[in-house]
Structure 1
Amino acid sequence: MSTSVATPPTRAGRLRHSIDWLLGLSLLSSLPLASVFFCDLWFRSDYRFFPLLMIVPLVMPVWRGRKQPQAGSGSRQSVKDIPRGPISLGLWFASGLSAICAPLLFSPWLAMLALTLSWCAWILVRMGQTPWPQLLKWTLPLLVLLLLPLSERSDPLPSFSSSVTYASSSLLDLLGIANAPAEQRLQLQNGSYDVAAACRGLGNPYLLFSAAILLCMSTRCSLSLGLLTVGSAPLWSWGGSVLLATASAWLVEKQGMFVWLEERLWIAQAM
């Protein structure tokens, strides 16, 4: 006659329970100061797309986590022998250090870094059967969020717009259109064209870079193809902005059509 013996909770179960509490504690401690980081980005119209970099990484693991392979199912995983426990502990330590330094230095960026590291540590343990490339895709948008500039002084878009201005001026010279580049504007005979307007909105290199990352996340493309797509995004942004600025300046000079109005709306005036 066999008797059933109740099994105590496993070490992995206790670890996961503590991981959930650590994630909640990190949210409570760092979210108030990180909200300053969010508000600064929201009031700068060029970076209002940043919620996509937060919502998608939070939703994708929950949605795809139901389909993740179980242990012993025979699924092949790349670099599966790398221990995840020590890496997770290291991320938690770095997250706690960032959370402590954030209020002392009043740094919203450090608070956002603490939240990002804690999320990476949590997903590393919770999604233990998920391949490493998939985990990287889920966390990369949050890392891109940390690259967004916090102030106008650190914003590279003015330099990007100046580069587009001089490149567009060279193309207009080849087309025989008289122009004079001036910082982020093109002076034409029939008026002036604001090149910075072409580099904002859809021409924003950060927006295209983020869109390339989210596209690679949703399509499950290979790692090499994903790196090529993401790495070429800034070049596509620069080339597209140059062509758009050149075509828009040509329309202003030859047809009197203003493609951009008030630096935000894309308007084609009727002739």
Structure 2
Amino acid sequence: MRVFFKAVPILIIMLGFLVRPLDALGDSGHDVLLKKAYELKEQYKETEALAVYEQIIAADESNLEALCQASLLHSLMGNRFSDDTRKLNHFSTARTYAHRAFLLDSTGARSNYAMALSLASLAMVSGPKQRLALIGETKSYLDGALAADETYADAWHLLGRWYFKMANLNFAEITTYKVMLGGMTEKTATNKDAIYAMEMAILHNPNNLRYYFDLANIYQEMKNKEACVYTLQRAMAQNINLQTKEELELSRRCKIMLQAFQK
């Protein structure tokens, strides 16, 4: 079964905001830096944005926004490395920040999603037994995120990936999971559950190419050619403005998959 799933120097001075210690700026200083970090992130300057978020955290350990955003950025950046050691460093830090955010707001959509993403990311670089434990733990946080915000597209997407993984465990994984749970008491996940969650992600954010690509992969694994082609055609019809290397690569892979089916 297929598995889905610039470094830039830290600025010494950020528009003059770092001339004074961040503590001296007070809450207004935090707000200014949060705005700056958001702008950097929107410009796809994740390294610089992360540096600002972590500066805020160093001065204010209970800044929920900075904790959530730093966690999400570490999860995102960790995926860009090929070696597991660097991935693990980012993913572990992502979980640390997410857990701190969750302790501050255990019912919030952002804190729950940050926890879920960090656990799902760590699962990719863990051994078989720990991977299953982390995957199993992810579900409750996704449920928490969607209970707080049922339009949270990224949470729906990650839930779709969770359902697909659980619906396609091999015999050894099923056995191990049963032992860990003391019996399979949870509702069995299905590919239909995965499809529904992916469609909900697309409904709430139709401009994310990853959602279509992962949904198409589910249909491909199910050998549903018609649905796979239709999903890829929907993706292409969106004319999504591609900004990053990841998006360009996803677009290329979608086109290759579609061409292969249309031969």
Larger relative CO (CA 8 A, sep 6+): 1 or 2? 1
Could you tell me the TM-score, scaled by structure 1's length? 0.26
**Larger Rg over CA atoms:** 1
Higher helix share: 2
User: Which TM-score applies when normalising by structure 2?
Assistant: 0.26
